[in-house]
Every structure is written in structure tokens, then in C-alpha cells.
Amino acid sequence: MKQQLMRSSMEELAKIEQVGKPRVVIVGGGFGGLELAKALRDTNMQVVLVDKQNYHTFQPLMYQVATAGLEASAIISPFRKILKDQDNLSFRMAEVLHVDTAAQVLKTSIGLIHYDHLVIATGATTNYFGDEEMARHSVAIKSVEDAVELRNTVLSNFEKALQVGDREQLNSLLDFVIVGGGPTGVEVAGALSELRKHIFPKDYRDIDFREMDICLIQSGDSLLKGMSKEASEKALEYLQEFGVKVLLDRRVKSYDGYTVTLNTGEKLITRTLIWAAGVAGAPIEGIRPESIRKGNRYTVNVYNQIAGYTNVYAIGDIAAMITEEYPEGHPMVAQPAIQQGKLLGENLTRQLAGEPMRPFRYHDQGAMATIGRNHAVADLKLGGKEWKTQGFFAWLMWVFVHLIALVGFRNRLAVFMNWTTSYFSQERGSRYILGKRREPVPAEDPAASKVVA
Amino acid sequence: MKQQLMRSSMEELAKIEQVGKPRVVIVGGGFGGLELAKALRDTNMQVVLVDKQNYHTFQPLMYQVATAGLEASAIISPFRKILKDQDNLSFRMAEVLHVDTAAQVLKTSIGLIHYDHLVIATGATTNYFGDEEMARHSVAIKSVEDAVELRNTVLSNFEKALQVGDREQLNSLLDFVIVGGGPTGVEVAGALSELRKHIFPKDYRDIDFREMDICLIQSGDSLLKGMSKEASEKALEYLQEFGVKVLLDRRVKSYDGYTVTLNTGEKLITRTLIWAAGVAGAPIEGIRPESIRKGNRYTVNVYNQIAGYTNVYAIGDIAAMITEEYPEGHPMVAQPAIQQGKLLGENLTRQLAGEPMRPFRYHDQGAMATIGRNHAVADLKLGGKEWKTQGFFAWLMWVFVHLIALVGFRNRLAVFMNWTTSYFSQERGSRYILGKRREPVPAEDPAASKVVA
């Protein structure tokens, strides 16, 4: 076997040093990075995909995992499975520590990776705007692990609530405050209100769920900023219909894990504050700071080249391509990332063939958000025409679009079955407390000689 | 709302104190505890089920989760979902700390729980026979969290192996040692050999999987002790056919996280030792020590009453009912637990009606173990007749029996789909590294200036 191993190592080395084959290293396997990797499939390039997880995450359905609607496994798919037929690609599970753009080498948690072309597709991370206390006490929904933690925390709260007599303590466990009225905030608030109506009262018959408040706090005067007035208004109407308390024009001043203080002086009590108020790019150390702009995004040109470089690119949320139409860069959602990944794949191929690259132009297909079963809002752009719809039809479209987009047939089918089942039965299957959860300060002395059942 | 809450608390209190209704407290929602809870459904008793998890686990398929064949969620189901229609039952998620049998009260992590009848159904836990070092360094498969950890560890090992040049270091990551030749050990060894053949070589094309050794160590001279000679021999033959190195008549003397030393002096190198060599009962503090026998099991009479008590029972793995036919108590598997839970439900009902209880008699239906796709062994007992079969037909029966037994329609369907898909595609979908994993001592300095891709 030893000889065999030597041969295998030699082959690996030969593969790595394939002379003349330009090597593209992609950091981050989100929508943009994955699309780029696929676009380079039948080219004469070596591709290395680096990600700190071994799976791709379908982010738009993360809120479903957080609210026990879908299992974590339904929205993730291992990179090695997705890309198994791509012979020119190597995957490396690693954290990127630093890039040396002069030497063209990435320093990672597992060692060095050389590149000819580097593509940064690290996406965005939760932005607490420097508020350390908020970062420590609140729950975010930016990764699958976050989402699972939130699910476990919500369910554990109710298990604890059964033992609590004091009314304020009880409400601190039952009430939820969501900060941020974008799609994630709206979707989580809607999903929680559905759980309150259909699931929790059956699971916890001893709790009076009229005590459970769901508060959504939005700094501006409307929800879903960036969508149409019709969509914003209808989303507000649906949420209020579902019993969500929407507080507009408010900001959270502080949160200590128990009391939320707003800029208006109002106070709310909750042990679970869900932070969906902001994201910022996740830049890599070693790129010149002059290229980083507001929100930690890289300034890129129309070819997604980072300002000051010709062989270092950024795509997706981390890239800010400033145009007349998008003076702040494109919205930080899936579509620009996917389209940039695809075009960059073509452009790298063109470069290699000595052809000129083509500038990026965003094809905005519109936006959607779902508030709950049968209730969604959609602003669609089809062939230059705008089309706005809200309600059942928008919801059907939302389901259809998300099923189509989900990675991998098996996941698609599992999600579809999950949804079909839960649609007809009003049931949610993923109500496990499995894995990490936040332990709030004990509501009462656990060793208290108190009868709990 | 305040008034409403007061009323709700009063109702809860009233429910707890329902005068005259005897209260059965069941500790542990495994096969036995769950069966008992269900059997008490239409009785005039109050039932409290206490478990430290909020979900029931279908243990026989745990090895599938550990080997990325099934998602964790496929084999667990929330108690509140399973028991939602059972009005006389309360579930409490809590750890039991102590029982005061004189005062008839359980002390738990969340407070006190009074009982008229106490049923201990806490099952079994991994037995390291006092070897602390083994407990620290090895991986067990006794809970879903264990199984997920093992899956994550196996996959992380291969991600790490890609960066390792040194041959011994490489083998320490690729090789697996399984201790214990019972059903779990045999099933894990078989599943790993299938992964080695069909999955890993595609996922990790740079690794030479002829270097991956799977060792199964068994202290006795045959596998599957307790099953027929035919089953033992065929299991050994199948495993050897699949390339598993089965070492019989060996014991592990020590394991430091890297080197396994056997009683024969032989040494094996592995960073992953899977401990499937022993289980012991998980008793509760406060029960008289005279009632605890070998293997930490409670001595019970034919009514499952623990020796020395009339209203404290033990069922399942934790109970040792010594009979002529079973001088060591019944085997620690699902069937005795289920049958005892069912009968105890009937006996408690009889007691309440002033009727005499019926003694337990185990209906042994036989045993099965699967070694891999199309390969299983089965010793069946049907109507007093024994019937032994091995191979494809035994495997079909194994699949059928496990599907039938799985809790909840949705899970059954999901598992069925998973199996159908993986049967025809030789694919395994759950290859995520999500959640806890064991970090072995770094194989090489992670900051080493070493090219890894």
C-alpha cells in the first residue's frame, strides 16, 4: 500500500502544479461562489473552493429552520456532493486567515493555497453596529447553526415557562422581540405567529398563549424597505392580522438579556431578542483597506475586480458595484450574487481565450417575502414590466420559486413533502431541542422546593 | 390578560391536584416508557412523563445517523407531538436528581414531582468499565448527539487527511477501530465499509481509500453473542467480504486517543475509537442499593416492582427480571421494554380496579442485525418455531420491521424515501459537518507554511 500511497501523493502534487493551467481560488461557497464554481466546470482552469463549512446553505429558508418548519438538513447540501462530477475542482474546508496579494497566496487554517485568480465570495455577516452587549445577548439568523440554536432556545423557553409562576418572568420567556423589518424579520415574525396559533397551544396546553407577544421593531416608517409601497403596507396588514405588534420608527437603544430599551424610552421584557437588523460584508485581511467601503464591502468595477487589483475579484454581498442605478451597490440578496458568479465564470474563460470581458448588468427579477401560509407579497419584474401581487397567489409563487431554486433533487423533494404535510395538517415536525441552545439566566432557583407537575 | 393567567394557573393547579386520581410518574421516554404512557391513555390516572430530552429516539437506527445514512431528525420525534392527543398526560423536560420513596416525591432539575406510582424507565448508558481514559478519548453511540458527533468526526477526519503527508498520521485519521461485536459494532463496521466503497472515494478523490482500515474488536470468539451460530458465522463472513478486519478473542487494554493497545500486545493507530462494547443501567439516586444488581440494573419481580417496593417499578434495560429462562434478566433490547411497558399499563389499571396483576412473560420474537445493503442476519421465532435466515431476504425483513416500528408517519416516509434513494443511487445525503465534533490533537501544525491545495 505504501507504494500506492506514494503514487497517489505524486498524482495529487502533479494535479496541483499542472503547468499552464490557471488556478482560480474561490473563497466562500454561497450562492455566488457555487455558481462561479459550476460555471468553470468545462474550462481549462483548476478551481479550488474554500469554505469553513463542508456544505452549501440555502439561506432564504433559514427562518424556516429557526421556527421548526424545516429540518436543518433540508436546506443544506454537502459541497462534495454538489460538485462530485467536477473533475477540475478541489474543495478545501478551511478558514481563510490572510491573503498576500503580492505573492498570490492565501494563508488558511490548514495551510497555504496559491492562486492566479482569487475570488472573494465570503458574503455578509450579522452587523451589531459595534454593540457588544447586543451581540452577546441576542440571537442572529445568519447561519444554520444560528437557526438551530434559535429553534432550541424558543422550545426550551416554553419547557421552562411551565414551571414559572411569576407573571413578568413568564412573559420574559413567552415574548419575542424581533429587531429589523426586512424580509428575515417579517418572515420570522409571521412564522412565530403561526406557531402561536396552530402548534404551541396543542404542545403546551398548560400555557395561556394569549400571554405570548411577538414584537417587530423597525427603525423606518415601513416594513420591507426596497419593496413597493403596496408590498410594505400589505405585509404590515398581514402581520397585524396575525397579532404581531409592529413598532415602526423605533430603534433599540440597549438590551441586557432581559430588558429591551427603545430610543423612545419604551421598555419591553424578553429573554429572546432576535437580531435581524443589519448585515455587513465579511472581508479578508490583506486586501488594501482603500478598497473597503461602507458596510465592509469591497468596491468593485463592472467586471467584479476589486479596486486596485486585476486578479482579485469580489462577488455577491461582499461586492459593492457602484452604478448610477445602484449608488449603494446591488441589494445583498441571492440574485446579484448568482448573476455575478455566472458572468465572472464566463469572463475568466474569455480572458484565458484572449477575449475582452463583458461588464455586469443586474437583471432585477423583483423581490418576495412570505408572512405565513397563503400570505406573501411579491414585486416582480418580467421583461421590463413590473407586476405587484399580494396574498395567496403571491404565496404560491413564493413556494414555487423557492422549490425550484433549492439545491439538489432530494432536498427539493423533502422540502416539498414537509410543506405539503404541514400545509394540510397545520403540523410542524421539527420541534426537537437538539444541539446548542441559549440558557437564559435561570428564571427561578432550579433547586427550589417547588412542585412543577 | 392577568386575570386569564390567574385562571389558567388555577386550572393547572386543580389538574395537578385532581383528588382521587392516582398519579403515575414515568422517568424516561424510551421504548418502555413511551409504550406505558400510551397504555395509560384511556384510564382514570394522571400520567407525568419526565425525560431530559424533548424527543423520543428510535435507537435501533442510531448507527445510520452516525454513518451519514439518515439525518438525526429521521429517528427522533418530539414527545409533545407523539402524545398530543393524550389529555391525561403532562410532559416535563427535566433531569431527575433524586427520589424520596418515603415522601413519594422526585427531585428534578426543574423542581419537585409527587407520585403515587413511580416507573423508572431510564434505560442504559455506555459502560466503560471504569476506564476514564477510554471514556475521554473514545466515541460512543448511545444518544443522537453522540451519533451526530461521530458523523461530524468521521467527515472532519477526511477533510484533515487531505493535508497530511506523513503516512502514520494519515492512517491515524483514515483508520477506525470499533470495539464490541454486538449488533451496534457489527452495523457500524458494515456501514463504514459501505461508505469506504461507494461514497468516500468520490468525495475525496485525492485520498487512496485502500489506506482506510476498519477494525472490529470482539472479546469473545464469535460476533453477535446471543444470536445463533449461523448468524454469527455469516456476519463474520459478510464483514470479511466487505474488507473489515475482525479481531476475535481480543480486548482493548488502553487507548490514549492515538494508540490502541490490545491485551495480546498488538497495537493499532487511530484517532477514532468507537466504543460499542458495553452498556449498564442508569439508576436513580434514592432507591435502596440492595435492589441494584450487576450491570446497574434493578432487581424486579414478575410485575416489574423493584425489590423492596410496591409502588416503584422498573421496566426495560434498567430492569433485571431474573427467571429460570433468563438468569441474567432479559436482553437489553427494545422488545422486552415494549412488552413490559404495555403489561405494566394494564397491571396499573387492574390494580385500580381491585383486580390482581398479571405476571410478565417475554415473547421473544428473535433478533436481527444488518451488515449492509442486501446483507443481514435474522433468527426469528414465530409461534414457537425458530427460523434462521441470512442474506438478501433477511435484509428485506430487517428493513420492513424497522420501517413498521418507526414512530410517526412522517418519519417513516422520510426514512423510506432516504433508503429507497440511497439503495438505487448508492448515495448518502447526510454528509454534513454540523454541530459538535471531536477535535483530535492536530495532526500537524495548522499554521505550518505548507501548501494544501
Active-site residues of A: which are they?
187
Q: What's the confidence (pLDDT) of residue B85?
A: 86
Asked whether residue A345 is assigned to any structural domain, the reply reads yes
- Please identify among residues 188-207 of chain A the ones whose CB lies closer than 8 Å to any CB of chain B: 202-204, 206-207
Distance from CA of A375 to the nearest CA of B (A): 25
Task: Answer with the one of A352, A382, A413 that is the final residue of a domain.
Answer: A352
Taking the Cβ of residue A151 and every Cβ of chain B, the question of whether any pair is shorter than 8 Å is answered with no
Of A73, A78, A113, the CB nearest to B453: A113
- Chain A partners within 8 Å of B76 (Cβ): 432, 434
Taking the Cβ of residue A426 and every Cβ of chain B, the question of whether any pair is shorter than 8 Å is answered with no
Q: What's the confidence (pLDDT) of residue B9?
A: 42
- Chain A partners within 8 Å of B430 (Cβ): 73
Q: What's the confidence (pLDDT) of residue B428?
A: 61
Asked whether the CA dihedral B320, B322, B327, B330 is positive or negative, the reply is negative
Claim to verify: residue B232 and residue B137 sit in the same structural domain: yes
How many domains does chain A divide into? 2
Of B73, B78, B92, the CB nearest to A452: B92
Claim to verify: residue A254 and residue A144 sit in the same structural domain: yes
Asked whether residue B447 is assigned to any structural domain, the reply reads no
Taking the Cβ of residue A93 and every Cβ of chain B, the question of whether any pair is shorter than 8 Å is answered with yes
- Chain A partners within 8 Å of B48 (Cβ): 453
Residue-number span of the structural domain to which A236 is assigned: 132-277+366-425
Claim to verify: residue B227 and residue B322 sit in the same structural domain: no
Closest CA to A99 of A327, A306, A340: A306
For A140-179, the pLDDT digits (tens) are 999 999 999 999 999 999 998 988 888 899 999 999 999 9
Q: What are the start-end ranges of the H helices in B276-324?
A: none
Claim to verify: residue A86 and residue A181 sit in the same structural domain: no
Rg (CA), chain A: 24
Q: What's the confidence (pLDDT) of residue B206?
A: 86
Does residue A11 carry a pLDDT above 60? Answer: no
Q: Which residues of A287-320 are buried (b: 16+ CB within 10 A; e: fewer)?
A: beeebbeebbbbbbeebbbbbebebbbbbbbbbb
Claim to verify: residue B41 and residue B182 sit in the same structural domain: no
Per-residue pLDDT averaged across B103-122, rounded? 95
Asked whether residue A10 is assigned to any structural domain, the reply reads no
- Please identify among residues 108-137 of chain B the ones whose CB lies closer than 8 Å to any CB of chain A: 108-114
Q: Note the pTM of the prediction, 2 decimals.
A: 0.87
CATH code at position A149: 3.50.50.100
Q: Which of B50, B168, B245, B432 to mutate to test the interface with A (most CBs of A within 10 A)?
A: B432
Does residue A325 carry a pLDDT above 90? Answer: yes
Q: Which of A17, A64, A106, A203 to mutate to test the interface with B (most CBs of B within 10 A)?
A: A203
Does residue A8 carry a pLDDT above 60? Answer: no
Taking the Cβ of residue B445 and every Cβ of chain A, the question of whether any pair is shorter than 8 Å is answered with no
Of B9, B114, B450, the CB nearest to A111: B450
Closest CA to A181 of A173, A171, A189, A169: A189
A84 Cβ contact partners less than 8 Å away, ≥ 6 residues apart: B202, B203
For A401-441, the pLDDT digits (tens) are 887 777 565 566 666 666 666 666 666 666 777 776 666 54
Claim to verify: residue B137 and residue B250 sit in the same structural domain: yes
Claim to verify: residue B236 and residue B384 sit in the same structural domain: yes
Q: Is there a contact between A162 and B92 if contact means CB atoms under 8 Å apart?
A: yes
CA–CA separation, B33 vs A169, rounded Å?
Answer: 32
Taking the Cβ of residue B267 and every Cβ of chain A, the question of whether any pair is shorter than 8 Å is answered with no
CA–CA separation, A48 vs A26, rounded Å?
Answer: 6
Asked whether residue A411 is assigned to any structural domain, the reply reads yes
Of B48, B81, B432, the CB nearest to A55: B432
Q: Which residue has the higher pLDDT, B205 or A451?
A: B205
Claim to verify: residue B265 and residue B383 sit in the same structural domain: yes
Q: Is there a contact between B1 and A210 if contact means CB atoms under 8 Å apart?
A: yes
- Chain A partners within 8 Å of B429 (Cβ): 73, 81, 410
Asked whether residue A2 is assigned to any structural domain, the reply reads no
Residue A384, number of CB atoms within 10 A of its CB:
5
Taking the Cβ of residue B450 and every Cβ of chain A, the question of whether any pair is shorter than 8 Å is answered with yes
Claim to verify: residue B198 and residue B268 sit in the same structural domain: yes
DSSP label of B128: -
Top mean pLDDT of B80-84, B193-197, B315-319 is at B315-319
Taking the Cβ of residue A449 and every Cβ of chain B, the question of whether any pair is shorter than 8 Å is answered with yes
Asked whether residue A321 is assigned to any structural domain, the reply reads yes
For A182-193, the pLDDT digits (tens) are 999 999 999 999
B100 Cβ contact partners less than 8 Å away, ≥ 6 residues apart: B106, B107, B286
Q: What's the confidence (pLDDT) of residue B198?
A: 86
Residue B221, number of CB atoms within 10 A of its CB:
10
Q: What's the confidence (pLDDT) of residue B421?
A: 65
Q: Which of A17, A53, A88, A93 to mutate to test the interface with B (most CBs of B within 10 A)?
A: A93
Rounded to two decimals, the ipTM of the complex is 0.82
Task: Answer with the one of A323, A352, A381 that is the final residue of a domain.
Answer: A352
Q: Are B121 and B26 in contact (CB under 8 A)?
A: yes
Claim to verify: residue A158 and residue A246 sit in the same structural domain: yes
Taking the Cβ of residue A435 and every Cβ of chain B, the question of whether any pair is shorter than 8 Å is answered with yes
For B272-311, the pLDDT digits (tens) are 999 999 899 999 999 999 999 999 999 999 999 999 999 9
Distance from CA of A175 to the nearest CA of B (A): 14
Q: What's the confidence (pLDDT) of residue A419?
A: 65
Asked whether residue B431 is assigned to any structural domain, the reply reads no
CATH code at position A91: 3.50.50.60
Claim to verify: residue A319 and residue A420 sit in the same structural domain: no
For B218-241, the pLDDT digits (tens) are 999 999 998 999 999 999 999 999
- Please identify among residues 36-65 of chain B the ones whose CB lies closer than 8 Å to any CB of chain A: 48, 50, 53-55
For B32-43, the pLDDT digits (tens) are 999 999 999 999
Q: Give the pLDDT band of residue B68 (cuts 50, 70, 90).
A: confident
Active-site residues of B: which are they?
187
Chain A residue with CA closest to B51: the answer is A159
- Chain B partners within 8 Å of A156 (Cβ): 93
Claim to verify: residue A209 and residue A69 sit in the same structural domain: no
For B127-161, the pLDDT digits (tens) are 998 899 999 999 999 999 999 999 999 999 999 89
- Please identify among residues 287-306 of chain A the ones whose CB lies closer than 8 Å to any CB of chain B: none
In the structure grid, which three cell numbers stand for residue B22, read together?
392516582
Asked whether residue B443 is assigned to any structural domain, the reply reads no
Q: Are B150 and B139 in contact (CB under 8 A)?
A: yes
